[in-house]
Homo-oligomer: A and B are copies of this chain.
């Protein structure tokens, strides 16, 4: 390696010399030669929507169901999510399809509740450096997926993973979800290079979120493929049974048939880098 320079401090639990961390969730292992696809709607809106989405994800070969019950929103007047009611809906979808669930937790006091339902706890980009929350999920019994902050350096991001590991929870997945740049056509700029950088600097699995990373439906498929080609261990994709009716992120949510097509198209890319879908 020619020149991957980081400050001295980052030589920590995230790079322990014991090899890549493999995290087993249901029948899926994140961090090995299987590519993990997490998909579903941005927000849990109602029972029908989530069950329909779950069936589509399952049918197309996806591995984990995503859906937000607690939603971080720019304004307090926007839809804030269904809370525990949303978690119960996700639980029902898991019961029917067998898909494990990933969902966001936004405050330390909600961790107990959310981990009682979720299979993976998601920490959102806005909370990447919410250290009280990181410490709390560091004591949780479930794996944690830590999204990169909108303008976090990779070193800061790894520092946040360190907060979780330091509390004893070693099942941490990193998620590149786009960084904030001056470009305005895309919602964010998906930093695909973060994938190989993370692979070199840590042992943690890393997944890519091309939905938030671009904000535009027609860019999700090419960027999902780019993420796989760059070495990602998985994908986080927004898919909604009816994107035009979505309460949030409709513009970046795939239609069901687009998700199904993408699942088929990703398989050969995965194969070309020694992974399977």
List residues of chain A with CB under 8 Å of any chain B CB: 1-6, 9-10, 12, 72-77, 106-110, 126-127, 129-133, 135, 150-151, 153-156, 159, 162-163, 166, 179-186, 189-193, 195-197, 200, 213-219, 222-223, 225-231, 243, 251-252, 268-269, 271-273
Task: Tell me the nearest residue of chain B to A13, going by C-beta.
Answer: B76
| B272 in contact with A185 (CB, 8 Å) | no
Alpha-carbon distance A3/B4, docked complex (angstroms): 24
Partner of A217 from B1, B6, B75, B193 at Cβ < 8 Å = B1
How many monomers of this protein are in the complex?
4
A184 vs chain B, min Cβ distance (A): 7
Chain B residue contacts of A5, Cβ below 8 A: 185
| B151 in contact with A180 (CB, 8 Å) | yes
Chain B residue contacts of A163, Cβ below 8 A: 75-76
| B218 in contact with A229 (CB, 8 Å) | no
Task: Enumerate 16 A-B pairs (CB-CB under 8 Å) in ascending A order.
Answer: A1-B218, A4-B219, A6-B185, A73-B131, A75-B163, A76-B162, A108-B109, A127-B129, A155-B185, A179-B189, A186-B193, A190-B192, A190-B193, A196-B218, A229-B229, A229-B269
Partner of A185 from B4, B223, B225, B243 at Cβ < 8 Å = B4
| B218 in contact with A2 (CB, 8 Å) | yes
A241 vs chain B, min Cβ distance (A): 16
Partner of A129 from B72, B154, B185, B217 at Cβ < 8 Å = B72
| A3 in contact with B216 (CB, 8 Å) | yes
Alpha-carbon distance A71/B12, docked complex (angstroms): 21
| B126 in contact with A107 (CB, 8 Å) | no
Alpha-carbon distance A185/B252, docked complex (angstroms): 24
| B2 in contact with A156 (CB, 8 Å) | no
> Known: A129-B72, A159-B75, A218-B2. Contact between A182 and B180, CB under 8 A?
yes
A267 vs chain B, min Cβ distance (A): 8
Partner of A2 from B180, B191, B216 at Cβ < 8 Å = B216
A263 vs chain B, min Cβ distance (A): 14
